[in-house]
Amino acid sequence: MSRKKVYVTRMIPNEGIDKLRKFFDVEVNELDRELTYQELKEKIKGKDGILCLLSDTIDGELMDVEPKVKIFANYAVGYNNMDVEAAKERNIYLSNTPGILTDATADLAWALIFATARRLTEGDRYVRAGKFKRWSPKLLLGRDITGKTLGIIGAGRIGQAVARRGKAFNMQILYYNRSRKKDFEVETDAQYVPLEELLGKSDFISLHTPLTKETTHLISDKEFKVMKDTAILINTARGPVVDEKALVKALKNKEIWGAGLDVYENEPQVEEELKTLDNVVLCPHIGSATYETRMKMAVMAADNIIAALHGKVPPNCITL
Ligand code: NAP
Ligand code: GLV
Ligand code: GLV
């Protein structure tokens, strides 16, 4: 019997590719860029399984190109790039990579908290520009972190991991979530509050919901007006959860003190004005970007494909 065929839409760590090669004929996009939607349509022809990225649009039209495809395995935990209903209608499996990237992403959220509150990137630019001539009492004054209030929006795996780190800094935790998380409350003394109360009371507001219809522009003009003028907003979730134009306005008008961003509304484009502001720290969507974590993600995505193409339900199926 001929081997099944798998397509990988972008080079990922070898551990995942090697695992797939034990069972299947594997073709990998070797280009140093993602494929266009049209290119992807061509490439999936004749394949049985696809390992894809968060930047690949997996919709019903694409699924109809090759009915043989049994699974699209996302190399990410977020799956707003995939049409879950369309896949269910077609009996196609979709999968993601939950859990193994929680700590890496929570660490990055914290890196942004530190960088923003303590003005690290401004300080780095200052030193490199040769401006550091003497110690100064008022140079680059930031904001305290220890003992402050941390507001978590979306207290799932990553949101809770960010809150736990906050406990080590003696922070008071507030959270807003679709459902209440009693175990989390017991563990961290987190208080479940309405969104508006969280926005008004938090010194740091960190976003961790998935991107859905309900969370699109969850943070916009009205929400920035409720925040303290010393508040810091951290977004490692998805860009469109924040209205980026409203964010620019809030940062420019000093309605909030700063922001730390890993994701953008029209990724990979970044609002030009954001790049001109000093009170924002910008990262290029690197929440899970450590060697260890990306290797685990590659293996997990491969395992999902291996299960599906052996007639089993993939362990991280999101279409049940
Ligand atoms: P998760 O465990 O599913 O957590 C998501 C949380 O958001 C859940 O607690 C969920 O509530 C809550 N939620 C969903 N819709 C909501 C709404 N409308 N209002 C309030 N709360 C809502 O997911 P995770 O693993 O923590 O990942 C979260 C997101 O982070 C991913 O979807 C992805 O977009 C993003 N992410 C980004 C990076 C990066 O590189 N920057 C890396 C990894 C993940 P319930 O418990 O009630 O369902
Ligand atoms: C990254 O953004 C992910 O969702 O895994
Ligand atoms: C600062 O360097 C101090 O010693 O307080």
Could you tell me which of 274, 249, 252 has the C-alpha nearest to residue 261?
274
Q: Give the closest residue (by CA) to ligand 1 atom 35.
A: 237
Q: What is the mean pLDDT of the chain?
A: 98
pTM exceeding the 0.85 threshold for the entire prediction: yes
Residue 261 is part of a domain; what is its CATH number? 3.40.50.720
Determine the pLDDT at residue 191: 98
Q: Among the bound ligands, name the one nearest to the CA of residue 178.
A: 1
Determine the pLDDT at residue 107: 99
- 134 and 190 in a single domain? The answer is yes
Q: How far apart, in whole angstroms, are the C-alpha atoms of residue 163 and residue 174?
A: 9
DSSP 35: P
Give the rounded percent of residues in the chain with a pLDDT score beyond 90.
99
Determine the pLDDT at residue 50: 99
Question: Is 1's pLDDT higher than 90?
Answer: no
Extract the tokens encoding 270. 């970044």
Q: Give the closest residue (by CA) to ligand 2 atom 3.
A: 76
Question: Is 170's pLDDT higher than 90?
Answer: yes
Q: How far apart, in whole angstroms, are the C-alpha atoms of residue 219 and residue 53?
A: 26
Q: What is the pLDDT of residues 259-294, one digit of tens each?
A: 999 999 999 999 999 999 999 999 999 999 999 999
Catalytic annotation on 238? yes
Is-contact 207 260, C-beta < 8 A?
no
Catalytic annotation on 285? yes
Query: How many domains does the chain fold into?
Result: 2
- 133 and 252 in a single domain? The answer is yes
Among 77, 218, 219, 262, say which to mutate for ligand 1: greatest number of ligand atoms within 8 Å of CB.
77
Q: What is the pLDDT of residues 57-115, one digit of tens each?
A: 999 999 999 999 999 999 999 999 999 999 999 999 999 999 999 999 999 999 999 99
Mean pLDDT to the nearest integer, 31-37: 96
Determine the pLDDT at residue 190: 98
- 74 and 115 in a single domain? The answer is no
Q: Report CA-CA distances (Å) from 25 to 22, 47, 56, 110.
A: 9, 9, 21, 41
- 302 and 187 in a single domain? The answer is no
Task: Identify the residue whose tokens are 């022809």.
Answer: 45
Q: How far apart, in whole angstroms, are the C-alpha atoms of residue 92 and residue 97?
A: 17
Q: Which domain range does residue 180 map to?
A: 102-282
Determine the pLDDT at residue 308: 98
| Number of continuous H segments (helices) and E segments (strands) in the chain | 12, 12
Q: How far apart, in whole angstroms, are the C-alpha atoms of residue 87 and residue 43?
A: 19
